Amino acid sequence: MIKGNQSFIFESKPVIISSATIAGPFEGEGPLAKDIDVIHEDVYLGQDSFEKAERMMLEQAAMKALEKAGVSKYDVGMLICGDLINQIISSSFAARTMGIPYLGIYGACSSSMEGLTIAASFIDGQKVKYVLTGASSHNCCAEKQYRYPTEYGSQKPPTSQWTVTGAGACLLASQGVGPKVTSATIGRIVDLGITDPFNMGAAMAPAAVDTIEAHFRDMNIEPDYYDIIVTGDLGSIGHKIALDKLLENGIRIPVKIFGDCGMMIYDSKKQPEVLSGGSGCASSAVTVYGHLLNRMRSGEIKKMLAVATGALHSPLTYQQKETIPCIAHAVAIEM
């Protein structure tokens, strides 16, 4: 059901009957390690390229989610995935392996919640019995494509973020036990003219603010409706900008319930390499589908708004001196 200008209410409340997360060794040293299903000791995962390693993580997350639910891949009506590599090859090649009807999506680092929104829509519309959705990223793949190969050893400014090496997937059904997807707000493109690919948090913060405001307006609710509101990968700099801008616009979100996946997945004191925090599709996918859904299942969280953020630039647009258009998609999940 349409609600307001940008939002939808899922009347059947599709259920996340299982979820799974995979991560690399650096993420395994972070504070969310206990909520990651598989932590690899090698960023190559035994493959001969970083790109193949990322594809394997996405495959593993998807298969692990199916395994947890006791559902065969042959019963899944649709696979919806996204990633950061050119032509979303991690998602498409994983779909080739799995043999499930496939929709590839690209929302940059907002892909996890974009995929969850589409998946919930298909379940709510009774089009399929099960939908599997996921997203992935790999630090070395993203650095090579968007900035400089890690072997180059370039110096980064404090505004930079560390792309998460990992993948997350969840399986949705019309019935079952688990957190329910109750509503979603589709974001608009927001571009304030930032051109620096080393300052993604500042570029994406206005898009997060725009979507959060739209969600509260469309749903006619206040921030304290939720136990936690979490952005995808603004990092410490972008998170502060978003919080200040929301307050300036008259939306007072208590600091204790307003988090950021990119700040949660790493320990900035023990892992100073992350600088402003984590980023990438896996930032929200691993944090939400692992740590936060586990907190919901344990009863610690009842209502969550996950707002995945994405910068929709490319190496080509950066080279052509274009600015960075950004977007954010919000999904409400409740027990």
DSSP class per residue in 299-320: TS-SEEEEEEEEE---HHHHHT
pLDDT 10s digits, 119-162: 999 999 999 999 999 999 999 998 887 776 666 566 777 888 99
Residue 178's φ and ψ, nearest 5 degrees, are: 150, 180
Residues 6+ apart with CB under 8 A from 298: none
Question: What would the mean pLDDT of 65-81 be, rounded to a whole number?
Answer: 97
Return the pLDDT at 142.
87
Question: What would the mean pLDDT of 313-329 be, rounded to a whole number?
Answer: 92
Return the pLDDT at 58.
98
What proportion of the chain, given as a percentage, has pLDDT over 90?
89
Question: What would the mean pLDDT of 303-329 be, rounded to a whole number?
Answer: 94
Burial of 51 (0-12, 13-18, 19+ CB in 10 A): buried
- Confidence band (pLDDT; 50, 70, 90) for 286? very high
- Residues 189-218 as b/e (b if ≥16 CB within 10 A, e otherwise) read ebbeebeeebbbbbbbbbbbbbbbbbbbeb
- How many CA atoms does the CB half-sphere of 324 hold within 13 Å? 25
**Does the model's pTM come out above 0.85?**
yes
DSSP designation for 291: I
pLDDT 10s digits, 61-72: 999 999 999 999
Which sign, positive or negative, has the C-alpha torsion 110, 55, 35, 273? Answer: negative
Q: What is the mean pLDDT of the chain?
A: 95
Return the pLDDT at 21.
98
Return the pLDDT at 159.
86
Same fold flag, 15-173 and 180-334: yes
pLDDT 10s digits, 208-241: 999 999 999 999 999 999 999 999 999 999 999 9
- Confidence band (pLDDT; 50, 70, 90) for 197? confident
Residue-range domain boundaries for the chain: 15-173, 180-334
Multiple choice CATH, 15-173, 3.30.70.20, 3.40.47.40, 3.60.15.10, 3.10.180.10: 3.40.47.40
Rg value, the chain, Cα:
18
Q: Domain 180-334, CATH 3.30.70.20 — does that match?
A: no
